Structure formats: structure tokens, C-alpha cells
Chain A
Amino acid sequence: MVNRILDVRGVRKNYGAFEVLKGIDLDVEEGETFAIIGPNGAGKTTLFKVMTGEVGCNGGQVLFDGADVTRQPSFRRVRRGMGRTFQVARVFNEFSVFDNVLVAVEAQFAAAGVPSGPRHTVRPGSAAVDRTHELLDKLDLSARAGTPAQSLSHGDRKRLELAIALAGRPRILMLDEPTAGMSPSDRTAAADLIRRIRASERMTVVMTEHDMGVIFGLAHRIMVMNGGTRIACGTPDEIRRDPVVRSVYLGREAQDA
């Protein structure tokens, strides 16, 4: 029996009188890649925010690895093993690339109770430095370690953010439109990167995405949203064949797939 790592039950969310999520259910199994798609305004990003704890919800439950995290602030969910990236990559602009990852590594060490080196010196502990270099290597950022994050290119920023998320040793990686604003060739590279990380860390991935090529190339299962409800959920093949999905969504973009 596979472990159900993320379980969302009847989540509702409204902004004022406007109901953005009208009772969403979904479950993600450990190790799979789960994609959420839907037209603009379907509620994907809001659902994402509710799952990660960025905003609260007005009803329903979010269970992470069997524990109810509905009321938990985001930093607790992160400490339980939830890593995330933002639609527009958010990194610490005034830090160098190295410090960006270092501060995330140190936060994980502190939360996990790993000693982070001698206290009397201000230099970061060697374990944290090694781990930081390891992550920078993994994401091809070693050459940029000393660069201030604010002068990075778009693609490098995205990779840096992924490094920051991985520093938390997440069990589940939540990616909000990982290829947003990228050129087609960058998208392929980003998808390859996600695939590589997924394989090397055996990680569960939940993502929202607009690019159908990326989605159908990566996802094991796909959930389709429209107007704050779930209209379909299944394997890529099932989704392709689903008449409802075809009519509301793929009708327009099926050619891209």
C-alpha cells in the first residue's frame, strides 16, 4: 500500500463574497508527480496557497503525511517536509547565491536539531557549508556562488529558488508554475531538471503549470480545475480522453500537447 502524503478534503476559500475554491478534494501519493491544471482564474494558485499555508481556508482540511496541518503556519509545514517555489521566483536579493542557500540550509539544520558548527565564531559550520556546495553543484550554480542574487538571470533565479527549496530536505516539492515566463528551450531544460531531481531524491512533486508539454511529460496524475471546482482527475491518458476536460480546457490548447 502506498503512502498518501498529501490529502486535501473539501477545501473551501472565499475572498469576501467571492468563492474561489468550492470544496476541493485531492490526494497525492508518495513518489508521484501530481499536476494541477485549469484555465486562468480556476483557483489553482489559491489552492496552492492553501496547501502550503500561505493563506488559510474557510473550510475543509489539509492533511500532510497523516497529520492535520490545516491550522499550521507555513514554516511548520516546511519543517515537516514541504518545500515550495513561487510563480515569480522569490529569492533573497541582497544575499549572494551562496548565502541564499546557506540561510535555508541553516534553517533546516536548526529545525532538525543538527548542530551547525561552533558557536563562538560567526563563520558558518562546515557541515552547512558542505551541504550548500552540494546543492549549488546539483543545480549548476557553483560558478555563480558569489554573485548577488539580484543580478541573476531569470533562469538562474528559478534554479536558485529550487536550491533553496531543496535545502529544506523536503519530502514533497510544491512548484507553482515552474516554467512560467521561460523560453521553450528553457522549459525543456527546466522539465529535465525537475525529472532529474525527482529521480535522485525520490521526491513527490505537486505542480501547477500552463505548459501542456511540460505537464504531460512529467505528471503521473493530473487534476483539472475550473471555476473553483475539480472537474476531472486521472492519468494523463484519462485526462486526454475526458470529454468534459476537452470541452472546457483542452479544446483550445490540445494542439500544444
Chain B
Amino acid sequence: MTRAARLAVPTAAVLLLVSLPLWANSGVVFLAGVTMTSAVFALSWNLLFGYTGLASFGSAGFFSIGAYVSAVLLREGYGSLFLLVVVLAGLVGAAVSWLVGCVALRRSKGIHLAILTLALAELLRITLSHTRWLGSEDGLPNIPRPTLPFGFVSVDLAAGNNYYWFLCAACGVLTAALWWIAHGRFGRVLRSIRQDPERAAFIGIDVHACRLGAFTLSGGFGAAVGALYAPWSQIVTPDLGSMMHSTQPILFTLIGGATSFWGPMIGAAAFAVIDFGTRTLVGMSEIVTGSILLAIVLFAPHGLAGAWRRLAGARVRPNPNGNTAAGGAIGRPAMREGAW
């Protein structure tokens, strides 16, 4: 692929997203906004799974922490400090995540970690649904969209599609930050841990500390994006932390491909299209998504991004054996080691 073609696809995607309110109806715009937050949420989860080799099934807990922090503060009238609110929500998420990680990562991996995180998120959800000042099971409705002051000018995010564009920018910033982490030195360290934690320890890497770091970052970013989500949907409920919501990033990541940074985003977009396309037929969206997911696990564990990369790679460098699936066959056992 030429450099121009590589730039063309993302540029077109960004233009499409940003220009959406100009030509699509408000339902589509709302869906696009939700998809953007889910996509960043999935990226934050994949920092843990695709980069560090840990699968959390309770990531929605952090998302809901962020959403509640943001909802409460906005309803209390701290709208003008919204940027700070998002940062604060991220910090709260990171702190909780650090605490959980301290306890959970020391002893459990694989299935145990999956179930433990699932149980913790469920505990949070039940606690929220019994906490009266957080609206119990009905959650917190009527979350106002804030007005941001920039020196002399202030931008009212409640007006028109302003919050949508703000969401585009904020998700862009979070994505950039995650990209920077994943591609820098720390990302390299995490990937080495996923491939072979023991070998990583023998080059002097403190595997436990790095896993904890990844867990904390993942929780922090999850909470930050949750904080952005609250004023977009304008209501938060305990179900944001439910198991089904926790499995969303897993879904997106697997559909898109865990070994690629952009995989979760592609997955989120694909999922949104499926969801939108089958919206008239109840249950169809689950069947289609489930089937795609199953097909991916059975035939293409690297997801859409991986399949695309392999196709592209096969064109550039034809393999004499025609065996373009070598990456898949060898890549998987390596991930297995990472899991333990």
C-alpha cells in the first residue's frame, strides 16, 4: 500500500465522522457519538488484552465510575470545569483500578482474573443500584451538557451539535494518548510481557509492576471516556457497569483484531453498522454479531485488521508456500504464554 492510500482511509473516516451532523439525522449522530465512546473504551481495554495479555471482564465498572463522577459533578453545576471533571474521573478510575489491580493481579490470571473482575463490576453495579443519592436503579437523569469557557469566548456544548464535535475532539485526544502509550517504550515492554512474561523478567522487567501499570491506565482511560459519555446520553444507570457492557470492548476488539492498535476501533465501527442495519429485526443483531465473532475465533483470530494486514502483506511479499496464515498459527501460542 502506498503512503497516500494509508493516509486516505483514516482521513476519510475522520472527515465522515466530523461532517456527520451536517447530512445525517440526529439518530445516526447519536449512535455515532456512542460508537466513538465505545471505541475509545475498547482501546483502553485492549491496552490490557492485546498489549499485556490480561483479560478483564469487568471493564465496564470503570466506565460507570467515570460516568457517575461526571454525572454527579455536572448535576451539581461544575459544568464550567468539565475538562477538569473528565480528568478527575480518569484519576478516580485509575485509583480504583490500581487498588483492584494490587489485589487481583498478584494472584489471579486467566479465567480467575476474568471472573474476579466480572464479580467486582457486578458488586459495583448492585451497590450503585441500591444507593439512593445516585438514583438507585433508575440512575441519574437530566445530566446537563456543560458550557466551556475559553478565556473571553465560551462554548455552549448544549447548543446544536456542539457536544458532538467536542466528543470527536476529546475522543481524538484520548486515542492519541493511548496510541502514544502503546507505541512508546512502555507499550514495547507490555508487548514483551504478553509474549513471554518469564523472558521479560529475565531482561530485568518488573512484570508485576508493569501489569499493574497497564491495569491502572486502562481503568483510568475507561473512566475518562465514561465521563465523556454521561453528558452525551444525558442519563447514567447502574447498567453501564453490567456484564453485557463489560463484554462490549471484548466484542469490538475481537471483531477488529487484538494485535492491532486500531482493531478495537474498526470493530466498534463494524458493530455499529451491524446494529444499525439490523435495528428493525429484534434479535438479529445478536445473531449476526455472534456469528461473526464465532467465525473470527474459528477462522481468523487476528480479526478484521489482522485479516486485512495479511491480505495486504500477501500481496506485497508472496509466500512461496502460499501459507499466508503463518502469522496466525504462530501468533496464537505466543498469546497463550502471555495469558499465563
Query: With a CB–CB cut-off of 8 A, which chain A residues contact B180?
Result: 122
Does residue A70 face the partner (Cβ distance < 8 Å to B)? no
Does residue A79 face the partner (Cβ distance < 8 Å to B)? yes
Among A52, A79, A107, A108: residue with most chain B CB under 10 A: A107
Query: With a CB–CB cut-off of 8 A, which chain A residues contact B331?
Result: 93-94
Query: With a CB–CB cut-off of 8 A, which chain B residues contact A84?
Result: 202
Instruction: Please name the residue on chain B nearest to A108 by beta carbon.
Output: B204
Does residue B159 face the partner (Cβ distance < 8 Å to A)? no
Q: Is the CB of B191 within 8 A of A75?
A: no
Does residue A150 face the partner (Cβ distance < 8 Å to B)? yes
Does residue B198 face the partner (Cβ distance < 8 Å to A)? yes
Known contacts A74-B202, A75-B205; is-contact A94 B191 (Cβ 8 Å): yes
Q: Is the CB of B183 within 8 A of A168?
A: no
* Segment of A7-15, A98-106, A138-146, A219-227 in the binding face: A98-106
Instruction: Report A106-147 CB contacts with B as 1/0, cut-off 8 Å.
Output: 111011000010000010100000000000000000000000
Known contacts A74-B202, A75-B201, A79-B204; is-contact A107 B195 (Cβ 8 Å): no
Does residue B212 face the partner (Cβ distance < 8 Å to A)? no
Instruction: Report B194-207 CB contacts with A as 1/0, cut-off 8 Å.
Output: 01101101111111
Bound CA span A106–B190, Å:
13
Chain B, interface size category, equals 20 to 34
Q: Is the CB of B195 within 8 A of A94?
A: yes
Query: With a CB–CB cut-off of 8 A, which chain A residues contact B202?
Result: 52, 74-75, 78, 83-84, 165
Query: With a CB–CB cut-off of 8 A, which chain B residues contact A83?
Result: 202
Bound CA span A108–B203, Å:
7
Bound CA span A86–B183, Å:
28
Query: With a CB–CB cut-off of 8 A, which chain A residues contact B205?
Result: 75, 107
Instruction: Please name the residue on chain B nearest to A121 by beta carbon.
Output: B184
Among B189, B192, B201, B204: residue with most chain A CB under 10 A: B204
In the complex, how many angstroms separate the beta carbon of A58 from the nearest chain B beta carbon? Answer: 21
Instruction: Please name the residue on chain B nearest to A167 by beta carbon.
Output: B203
Query: With a CB–CB cut-off of 8 A, which chain A residues contact B28?
Result: none
In the complex, how many angstroms separate the beta carbon of B25 from the nearest chain A beta carbon? Answer: 39
Q: Is the CB of A106 within 8 A of B185?
A: yes
Does residue A216 face the partner (Cβ distance < 8 Å to B)? no
Number of A-B contacts (CB under 8 A): 75
Of the residues A75, A79, A103, A111, contact of B188 by C-beta under 8 Å: A103
In the complex, how many angstroms separate the beta carbon of B326 from the nearest chain A beta carbon? Answer: 8
In the complex, how many angstroms separate the beta carbon of A204 from the nearest chain B beta carbon? Answer: 17
Instruction: Please name the residue on chain B nearest to A164 by beta carbon.
Output: B203
Bound CA span A152–B61, Å:
43
Q: Is the CB of A104 within 8 A of B203?
A: yes
Among B184, B185, B199, B205: residue with most chain A CB under 10 A: B185
Does residue B311 face the partner (Cβ distance < 8 Å to A)? no
Q: Is the CB of A54 within 8 A of B195?
A: no
In the complex, how many angstroms separate the beta carbon of B261 from the nearest chain A beta carbon? Answer: 11
Known contacts A75-B205, A107-B205; is-contact A93 B189 (Cβ 8 Å): no
Interface hits, A47-72 → B, CB 8 Å: 52, 54
Q: Across the A-B interface, give the 7 residue pairs with the lowest CB-CB distance, nearest first.
A: A78-B204, A104-B203, A122-B183, A122-B184, A75-B201, A90-B199, A92-B195
